């Protein structure tokens, strides 16, 4: 009789333990399902009557160009030359700082007026004044385009020195030298920018 009671007590305990475990299992939340389900693209053809979605357009390819040279156009039998819309308005000093070796070694026509070249040559001199021959020597040293050319372009340099008021002729014991009147140069440059461009009929005749 005592054994039966012990078995009943043990059975009751096991039953309670089983019920507790069962209740605990029901309390554990189920694993949340992902919000976005992966979309499976079917390889089957579209049914008749349905419009096919358009294929994505390919991204445009941007051509690369070497830095510092801008856009160029190549003439047959001649070198490439800068043809950007702002080429004639860029200061000589900044342009030469970026492409000094290019102009010094390549026989490419520089995009500057004679007035700009003459002024730059004078400003780089220690005394801020040069003779006509010293100006021509500076131009041939800085630009390979002028080397080996006839002397016609040197006559154009003389013409520009006499024509433009920004160049002031000063007679010395050694001969005539030419400083720059910067105020007149800036005034003259402003009038050109609002009117015609810097290129005159006397510009390129090397």
47-71 per-position pLDDT tens digit? 554 445 555 555 444 443 334 444 3
Specify which residues 178 forms β-bridges with.
Answer: 130
198 pLDDT more than 50: no
Q: Indicate the pLDDT class of residue 91, thresholds 50, 70 and 90.
A: low
User: Mean pLDDT lowest for which of 18-22, 105-109, 149-153?
Assistant: 18-22
Q: Which residues contact 144 (CB under 8 A, 6 or more apart)?
A: 103, 104, 105, 106, 107, 108
Q: How many whole angstroms separate alpha carbon 19 and alpha carbon 28? A: 15
Given CA atoms 120, 161, 178, 139 in this order, what sign does their dihedral have?
Answer: positive
Cα atoms in the 13 Å half-sphere on the side-chain side of 181: 12
Query: Could you count the other beta carbons within 10 Å of the beta carbon of residue 145?
Result: 20
Q: Which two tokens stand for residue 12?
A: 């009751």
Long-range Cβ contact pairs of 193-199 (< 8 A, separation 24 or more): 193/89, 197/88, 198/88, 198/89, 198/113, 198/115, 198/116, 199/88, 199/113
31: confidence class by pLDDT, cuts 50, 70, 90:
low
In angstroms, the CA 31 to CA 10 distance is 36
- Class at the top of the CATH hierarchy for domain 88-194: mainly alpha
Given pLDDT bands bounded at 50, 70 and 90, which one contains residue 138? very high
Tell me the average pLDDT across 140-152.
92
* Residue-range domain boundaries for the chain: 88-194
Paired tokens of 151: 């002397």
Alpha helices in 53-131 (DSSP H): 92-105, 114-123
Pairwise CA distance, residues 125 & 119, whole Å: 10
């Amino acid at each position: 009789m005592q054994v039966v009671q012990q078995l009943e007590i043990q059975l009751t305990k096991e039953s309670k333990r089983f019920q507790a475990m069962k209740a605990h299992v029901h309390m554990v939340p189920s694993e949340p399902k992902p919000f976005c389900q992966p979309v499976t693209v079917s390889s089957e053809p579209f049914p008749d009557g349905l419009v096919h979605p358009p294929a994505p357009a390919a991204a445009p390819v941007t051509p690369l160009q070497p830095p510092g040279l801008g856009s160029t156009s190549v003439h047959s039998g001649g070198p490439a030359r800068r043809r950007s819309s702002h080429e004639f308005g860029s200061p000589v000093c900044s342009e030469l700082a970026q492409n000094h070796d290019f102009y010094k070694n390549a026989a490419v026509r520089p995009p500057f007026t004679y007035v700009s070249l003459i002024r730059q040559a004078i400003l780089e001199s220690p005394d801020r004044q040069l003779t006509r021959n010293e100006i021509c020597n500076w131009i041939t040293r800085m630009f390979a385009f002028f080397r080996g050319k006839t002397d016609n372009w040197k006559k154009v340099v003389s013409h520009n020195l006499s024509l433009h008021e920004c160049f002031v002729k000063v007679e010395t014991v050694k001969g005539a030298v030419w400083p720059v009147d910067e105020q007149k140069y800036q005034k003259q440059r402003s009038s050109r920018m609002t009117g015609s461009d810097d290129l005159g009929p006397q510009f390129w005749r090397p």
